[in-house]
């Protein structure tokens, strides 16, 4: 069995953090070591674990992803750092690379791009990869649906209209071949559980 890659995921949005971590953890090539809410926690994780890669948001509250990249690379020179942001900007990309980041990904496509970038392989097609069928936004909506939030609450949380929430929910149900929230919860929890290692630590 090939050795797993130890990855730290960081984003100050707990929904994005969970979506990305669950997506990575579904791969048998990756072990998510920690989920962090800011750059300081990333640095702590880099000191605590043997971190092969960090996947972090650029604009986190407190210490941002670029500053965290500089610190992590000083602690562990061989650690790969992949940053993500909602709006790609050439100045941000340049600053990230100067800090030592490998690349900066657009959050709208990070689910499609991340696993191939980290492992050199396409995303798995087994049940474990069902989360990968959903975009980051769809996974955010799905998590709130499972939590029992109303469409209006989901819209307020994510800045979407109620009609947009309904559209996302319809897409999610179609992609995962479910018809209600109970089935959705079962399908997503099964996809997350189908992994070889335990869950990540909270840092």
90: CATH: 3.40.50.2300
Per-residue pLDDT of the chain (203 residues; tens, 9 = 90+): 458 899 999 999 888 898 889 888 888 889 999 999 999 999 999 999 999 999 999 999 889 999 999 999 999 999 999 999 887 778 888 999 999 999 998 887 787 788 888 887 654 444 445 666 788 888 889 888 887 889 999 999 999 999 999 999 998 988 888 888 877 877 776 665 544 334 455 55
Task: Tell whether 118 and 178 lie within a shared domain.
Answer: no
Task: Tell whether 46 and 87 lie within a shared domain.
Answer: yes
Instruction: Give this prediction's pTM.
Output: 0.64
Task: Tell whether 14 and 110 lie within a shared domain.
Answer: yes
Task: Tell whether 20 and 117 lie within a shared domain.
Answer: yes
Alpha-carbon distance of 26 to 10, in angstroms, equals: 17
Which range marks the domain in which residue 180 is found? Answer: 127-193
Task: Tell whether 22 and 117 lie within a shared domain.
Answer: yes
3-state helix, strand, coil in the chain (%, to 5): 55, 15, 35
User: Beta partners for 30?
Assistant: 5
Give domain status of residue 202, yes or no: no
Domain boundary among 124, 157, 177: 124
Residue spans of beta strands (DSSP E) within 18-138: 30-36, 53-57, 80-85, 103-106
Alpha-carbon distance of 6 to 58, in angstroms, equals: 20
Count of domains observed in the chain? 2
CA proximity to 99, closest of 49, 65, 75, 56: 65
Task: Tell whether 119 and 184 lie within a shared domain.
Answer: no
CA dist 180 → 83, 166, 187, 193 (Å): 34, 12, 11, 20
């Amino acid at each position: 069995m090939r050795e797993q890659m130890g990855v730290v995921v960081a984003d100050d949005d707990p929904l994005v953090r969970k979506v990305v971590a669950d997506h990575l953890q579904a791969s048998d090539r990756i072990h998510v070591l920690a989920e962090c809410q800011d750059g300081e926690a990333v640095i702590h994780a880099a000191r605590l674990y043997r971190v092969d890669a960090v996947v972090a948001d650029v604009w986190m509250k407190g210490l941002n992803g670029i500053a965290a990249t500089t610190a992590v690379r000083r602690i562990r020179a061989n650690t790969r750092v992949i940053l993500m942001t909602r709006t790609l900007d050439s100045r941000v990309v340049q600053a990230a690379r100067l800090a030592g980041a490998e690349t900066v990904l657009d959050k709208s496509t990070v689910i499609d791009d991340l696993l191939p970038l980290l492992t050199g392989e396409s995303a798995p097609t087994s049940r474990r990869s069902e989360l990968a069928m959903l975009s980051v936004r769809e996974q955010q909506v799905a998590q709130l649906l499972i939590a029992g939030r109303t469409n209006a609450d989901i819209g307020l949380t994510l800045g979407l209209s109620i009609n947009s929430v309904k559209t996302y929910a319809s897409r999610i149900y179609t992609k995962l071949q479910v018809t209600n929230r109970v089935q959705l919860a079962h399908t997503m929890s099964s996809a997350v559980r189908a992994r070889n290692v335990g869950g990540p630590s909270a840092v």
